[in-house]
Amino acid sequence: MERESKNPIACYIIGDAMITALGETTSENLRAIKEYQSGIQLDGSGDFLSRPIQVARIKQTVYDSFARYDSLEFTKAETLIVSVIEDLILQYQVDLQSFDTGLILATTKGNIDQLTLSDAIPTQTWLPALGLKIEQYFKTTNRIKIISNACISGVSALIVGKRLIQNSTYKQVVVVGCDVLSPFIASGFSSFRSISPTQCKPYDESRNGLNLGEACGALLLSATPSADAIILSGGAITNDANHISGPSRTGYELHLAMDKAMNEANILAKDVSFLDLHGTATVFNDEMESKAVSLSELAEVPVQSLKPYFGHTLGASGIIETIISAHELKDGICWATLGFEKTGTSVPLRVSNLHQPLDMMHCVKTASGFGGCNAAIVLSLPEFQKPSESSEPITVSRLRSVLVEDSKIFVDSGLVFESAEKDFPTFIRQANKNFGFVNQKFYKMDDLCKLGYIASSYLLEGIDFDSEKTGIILSNKSSSLDTDHKHAKLLFKEGESGVSPTVFVYTLANVVLGELCIRHKIKGENTFFITNSYEEADLIDYSTSVMRSDNLDYCIMGWCELFEDNYKAEFKLLKKI
Amino acid sequence: MNQLIQTLKEQLIEALNLEDITPEDIETSAPLFGDGLGLDSIDALEIILILEREYGIKIDNLENAKEVFYSVQTLADFIDKNRK
């Protein structure tokens, strides 16, 4: 049994730093946006795709300017992360060596640009190794928390940081988001045919895809306000439980995330001054968002997408876009959505290609990503903060546990299935047939998803639950590195035309969450942490705080690790009592 | 045409990881998408790759995708008309 104490603490955003294609500081970025500049340019270098591609690339001179890190042999991602955190430390005197300071990294692919044709997998492509390097550089007291939740990673990390402030784990949290461009990422998005040959045009009738970008940003969250703080007053994550790459056709689940976040902030649609949406400019994403906005009765509220300035910077996008949105609230201006000309969504949104001065109170910021995940946060000017009720402390019990390892499956420590076959693909096929749930999609999944799928099937067998009141919080060590390697092999051996969308879609750890949500129709919170080893007590604490703040009845939590021949799934079902 | 249909079925089974399905299990004129084989939008992208790699048909913007991707028969007709 775990118990939580009641603790209504506000979470303030008191500082930021960022490096993007538009500039090396927040003020440089804001200046460029004010002048309607885009960081997206046609890149014919062949560094990412063989054909010229519109990308928002950080200039090589920026990387070169960090000569002080030369002796440390930092990768591009490491250089950006360390320099952005150092900027934050310099500006706001953050003490990362304090017991009271936490550090969270949001990234989809970390150092994946370091994968090469060689069969050997470089150590730095393991996300825990990247995390360790950051910890060692800053001599942090607390372990870094890494979140890999596809394109909602940045917003997810802010929600995690907010909870860690509010449950008094830390007094300050640095939340950093980073992803860098690579052929790995560009070829995958190209195989999905989602890259626009021109500069992206979110919500426009002629939109035809996204532009990739690279960036790193950091926000400083604190339990104590500063003179010009913004309040992170609400946050929620949901899952479409529909498809691992295609957005919901109804927008209901993103709407659910926005409504939950607004409920937490205790605000109504009329209190929202503007929406900073994901706005990737793919046909289906923007259409889904317009429906979600309408369902939340926000269709009359000004909307923007910042993607035309920065490109889609994946795990960094939620952080850098939140930085800009927080400044918009303070400065009383909603920036233009570059390239927008004519409404191209079934529900017309209030998008403008001109900067608009606005009376500001609250901003709702959203993100959606592969794995069917959606996230929404509310940013509030302190003078308009609404008192919100703190959720009641809850007690949870462990209803059931499942362990899958060494060709055996245990439920509550009792052996329920065993195979003589030691290789994972054969074992997991047999386990699936033994379980008896016919689903052709099982065979399309990568091995990590198959492992999670089988573990969850045994965990939830015979249990009735409310789809919107159930969440999944998982962790592992290797993220999706097993499948990353398969995608890289196709790319390096067969070229871009050999890349398979079926493989690429699984190069994200949180797609396991997506598959589980589809299988069991789960629409609640879903977050994937990367840790060097299974930290069960921490994950139970976090899951309990999610169940409390998100009012969930059930939460699946645990460890889902697979890399080459080694695998282990250790799931628990928590129930609120 | 029969040979093309047989080959296409084999290529679909391999590229789309259709477990325990043989070419005989796939009805030539039955809908590919929806409940039957459980195909979805990612499978559609894989089928486009089959058309490009195996038949040299480059697809940038397929106007009548729904009709072409309806069944093995309609796909085979499309390949027959357009292959190089």
Two tokens, residue A137: 């550089």
- State the Cα–Cα distance between residues A172 and A141, nearest whole angstrom: 13
Rounded CA separation A76/A63 (Å): 7
Indicate yes or no: CB of B42 within 8 angstroms of CB of A501. Answer: yes
* Whether residue A502 has pLDDT greater than 60: yes
Type of residue at A73: E
Q: How far apart are CA A310 and CA A307, in angstroms?
A: 5
User: Are residues A505 and B49, on separate chains, in Cβ contact within 8 Å?
Assistant: no
Query: Across the interface, which of B38, B41, B48 has its CB nearest the CB of A441?
Result: B38
For position A137, what pLDDT does the model report? Answer: 97
Q: How many domains does chain B have?
A: 1
- Whether pLDDT at A22 is above 60: yes
Identify the pLDDT of residue A1: 44
Of A4-18, A109-123, A469-483, B26-40, where does the model show the most confidence? Answer: A469-483
Q: Count of A–B CB contacts within 8 Å?
A: 43
List of domains in chain A: 11-382 (3.40.47.10), 395-576 (3.40.47.10)
Q: In the prediction, which pLDDT does A2 show?
A: 42
Q: Give how far the C-alpha of residue A82 lies from the chain's centroid of Cα atoms, to the nearest Å.
A: 20
A105: closest CA of chain B, how far (Å): 30
The C-alpha of A482 sits at a distance from chain B's nearest C-alpha, in angstroms, of 18
The reply to whether A438 touches chain B by the CB within 8 Å rule is no
Q: Are B46 and A500 in contact (CB under 8 A)?
A: yes
What pLDDT does A509 receive?
A: 97
A495 touches chain B (CB under 8 A): no
**pLDDT tops 60 at residue A61:** yes
- Is residue B69 over pLDDT 60? yes
Give the chain B residue whose CA is nearest to the CA of A246.
B41
Contact A523, A120 (CB under 8 A): no
| Interval B48-57: pLDDT, tens | 999 988 999 9
pLDDT of res. B59: 81
pLDDT band at A392 (very low <50, low <70, confident <90, very high): confident
Q: What is the mean pLDDT of residues A103-116?
A: 96
CATH number for the domain including B15?
Answer: 1.10.1200.10
The percentage of residues in chain A with a pLDDT greater than 70, rounded to a whole number, is 99
What's the gap in Å between the CA of A206 and the closest CA on chain B?
Answer: 14
A161: nearest Cα among A104, A101, A82, A225: A104
pLDDT of A494 reads 92
Cα separation, A490 vs A476, in Å, equals 25
Which residue is closest to A496 within chain B, CA to CA? B49
Instruction: Search chain B and give the residue with CA nearest A500.
Output: B46
Residue A453: enclosing H or E segment and its boundaries?
helix A447-460
Q: Contacts of residue A440 in chain B, CB cutoff 8 Å?
A: 18-19, 37-38
Residue for token digits 């050999």?
A: A498
Chain A contact present for B61, CB below 8 A: no
Cα–Cα dist A545/A168, whole Å: 11
Average pLDDT over residues A106-120: 90
Residues of A in Cβ contact (< 8 Å) with B45 = 191-193, 501-502
Enclosing domain of residue B12: 2-82
* Beta pairing, strands A414-418 & A566-576: unpaired
Instruction: Determine contact, residues A305/A201, Cβ cutoff 8 Å.
Output: no
Shortest distance between the Cα of A491 and any Cα of chain B, in A, equals 14
| C-beta separation of A294 from A215 below 8 A | no
Report chain A's mean pLDDT, rounded to a whole number: 95
pLDDT at B65: 81
- CB of A206 within 8 Å of a chain B CB? The answer is no
Q: What is the pLDDT of residue A568?
A: 98
Which DSSP string do the residues of A351-376 spell out, in sequence order?
Answer: E-SS-EE---SEEEEEEEETTTEEEE
Minimal CA separation from B42 to chain A, in Å = 6
Query: What's the confidence (pLDDT) of residue A116?
Result: 81
- Other CB atoms within 10 Å distance of the CB of residue B64: 10
* Residue A45: C-alpha distances to residues A39, A198, A214, A277, B65 (Å): 16, 17, 16, 31, 33
Gap between the terminal Cα atoms of chain A: 10
B46 and A245 in contact by Cβ < 8 A? no
Q: Is residue A245 over pLDDT 50? A: yes
Whole-number pLDDT of residue A440: 83
Of B37, B41, B52, the CB nearest to A245: B41
Task: Answer whether B45 touches A (CB < 8 Å).
Answer: yes
DSSP A303-342: EE--HHHH-B-GGGHHHHHHHHHHHHHHHTEE---TT--S
Which one of A245, A440, A501 has the shortest CB-CB distance to B18? Answer: A440
pLDDT at A7 over 50: no
Contact A570, A403 (CB under 8 A): yes
The pLDDT value recorded for residue B1 is 83
Residue that the structure tokens 């060709």 belong to: A407
Q: Among A74-78, A163-167, A387-391, A461-465, whose mean pLDDT is lowest?
A: A387-391
The answer to whether A243 faces chain B, any CB pair under 8 Å, is yes
Contact B45 A193 (CB under 8 A): yes
pLDDT band, residue A5 (cuts 50/70/90)? very low
Q: What's the pLDDT tens digit per position in A420-454?
A: 999 999 999 999 999 988 788 899 999 999 999 99
| pTM of the predicted structure, to 2 decimals | 0.95
pLDDT at A439: 83
Q: What is the pLDDT of residue A468?
A: 93
Interface with chain B: mutation pick from A248, A428, A433, A502, highest number of B CBs within 10 Å: A502
Per-residue confidence band for A198, with pLDDT thresholds at 50, 70 and 90: very high
Mean pLDDT in residue range A28-41: 98
pLDDT tens per residue, range A507-530: 999 999 999 999 999 999 999 999
Identity of the amino acid at A345:
T
Residue that the structure tokens 């889904």 belong to: A288
| Cross-chain Cβ contact A444/B41 below 8 Å | no
pLDDT of amino acid A512: 98
Q: Is the pLDDT of residue A279 over 60?
A: yes
- Within an 8 Å CB–CB cutoff, is residue B52 touching chain A? yes
